[in-house]
Structure 1
Amino acid sequence: MKILAIHGSPRTLRSTTRQLVSFVLAGAEDAGAETEIIDLADLRVVPCTGCDACAINGVCVNDDDLAGLVARMKEADAIIFGSPVYIDNVSGQMKVFFDRLADAIHYQQLAGKYGCSVATTAESGGDEVVAYENHVLNYLGAVSVGDMSIALGTNPAALADAEPAARALGKKLVAAVRDGFSDPAQEAAIAGNRAYFAAIVQENRDFRPDEYARWEKAGWL
């Protein structure tokens, strides 16, 4: 079993968010999973231009590291998103990455997978950021098993204090992959998204016959 974490802080190894993600991964490893963390700041992922070329043939016009990253996400059994809070939202690196996931979202390329989300902040915005990260997981077709955010500004010990809960979240993610996990509210949201994206799949069926066949086989059309 492979758990892949995608970390959005530009501080990479110096990031408190990365440490929180590492706690989650440690819990997953304790439960028997193989884990990997990717620092977005170490990759070249350029902003989306909104050209919609990817919808036609699944290939982005930008020649960067995004396609390889999506391939690794598809190979993983579960995904963790981790970002610091910058001006009440995810980091710029994470937002550019999310915007470039349009094709993976439209074609539900992570359907059937699980995930979770974490964030660190100085004072506020953490709950909203993990909710947004989970929203993106649902857009991709994945179900989140939970989230956690910690505020470090008034409590220097908050990161260390969060380690047991973060490890428990990692173990919960592994259990979901092994045994399944259901959340009717998320599943209803995913089904609603999929009904909307079906029009894109049908419109481009001649250009993306394999994707159309996958959707048809899954009963989504």
Structure 2
Amino acid sequence: MKIIAIHGSPRTIRSTTRQLAGFVLEGAAEAGAETEIVDLCDLRITPCTACEGCSFNGICVYEDDLPELAVRMKNADGIVFASPVYIDNVSGQMKIFFDRLADAIHYQLLAGKKGCSVATTHTSGGDEVVAYQNHVLNYLGVISAGGISIATGGNPEAVDAAGPAARALGKKLAAAITDGFSDPVQEEEIRGNREFFKDIVIDNRDFRTEEYERWVQQGWIP
């Protein structure tokens, strides 16, 4: 069982968000998971320009670090999104990363995986950012096992105090992977997304034959 955390704070190892995500991974490791954390600021990820080039062959026109990261996500069983709150939303680094996942979203390349989300903030917006990140997980076809946000008020010890809850979330994510986890609300949203995305898959079936056949085999295209 492999769980990967994608961390979007530009503060990298000094980040309270990274610390919180680390607690989640510690809990998952205690439950038997192999874990890793990726700092987006250590990677070169070019902003998406909506050229739609990836729709034809799954390959972005930009040669950067996103394709390798996407492979690491595909090889994982669980995905953790972790971002600080910047002006009531995820960090710019996290948003650029999300936008570049368009092909993975349209073709549901991560479908069937489990995930969760964490966020830290000074005062407000943490729950909303967790909800947004979990929404992105659902776009990817990933079922979220939950999330946690911490308002530190400028006190770094607030994250330490959240350690037990974050570790519990990590264990819950690991259990969702090994034992299964369902959520009718999320599953209905994912079905609705696929109903919308299937037109893209059908329109490009001559270019993405394998992906089209995978959708047919999954029963997502009748």
TM-score with structure 2 length normalisation? 0.98
Secondary structure of the residue aligned to 1:112 is: coil
Superposition deviation, residue 160 in structure 1: 1.1
Which letter does structure 1 place at the counterpart of 2:137?
Answer: L
Cα distance in 1 between the residues matched to 2:170 and 2:137: 16
Structure 2 SS opposite 1:21: helix
Match for residue 174 of structure 1?
174
- In the other structure, the counterpart of 2:209 is 209
Equivalences for residues 136-215 of structure 1 within 5 A? 136-153=136-153, 155-215=155-215
In structure 1, C-alpha distance between the alignment counterparts of 2:105 and 2:156, rounded to whole Å: 37
Of 157-166 and 1-10, deviating more is 157-166
CA distance in 1, matches of 2:59, 2:29: 34
Equivalent position SS for 1:213? helix
Q: In the alignment, what sits opposite 1:49?
A: 49
Structure 2 residue 99 is the aligned partner of structure 1 residue 99: yes
Residue matched to 2:130: 130
Matched residue, 1:4 = 4
Q: Deviations over 1:55-92 (max 9, x none)?
A: 11111001100000001000000000000000100000
Q: What is the distance in 2 between the residues matched to 1:172 and 1:91?
A: 26
- Map 1:81-96 to 2 at 5 A: 81-96=81-96
Number of residue pairs the alignment of both structures matches: 221
Residue in 2 that maps onto 1:72: 72
After TM superposition, give the deviation of residue 157 of structure 1 in Å.
2.9
Superimposed CA distance per residue, residues 132-163 of structure 1 (whole angstroms, 9 cap, x where no aligned partner): 00000000000000000000116543211100
The residue identity in structure 2 corresponding to 1:164 is P
Consecutive unaligned residues in structure 2, runs of 5 or more: none
Q: Aligned residues: percent identity?
A: 71
* One-letter code aligned to 1:182: S
* CA distance in 2: counterparts of 1:4 and 1:156, whole angstroms: 24
Two-structure CA RMSD over aligned residues (Å): 0.7
Cα distance per residue 1:64-121 (max 9 Å; x no partner): 0000000100000000000000010000000000000000000001100000000000
Distance 1:26 1:199 in 2: 41
Tell me the distance in 2 between the aligned counterparts of 1:26 and 1:156: 19
Distance 1:149 1:54, change over 3 A: same
Give distance in 2, aligned partners of 1:46 and 1:130: 24
**What code does the residue aligned with 2:193 have?**
N
Distance (Å, rounded) in 2 between the aligned partners of 1:56 and 1:155 = 49
CA contact (8 A) 2:9 2:83 kept: yes
The answer to whether the 8 Å contact 2:16/2:156 transfers is: no
- Give the SS at the match of 2:188: helix
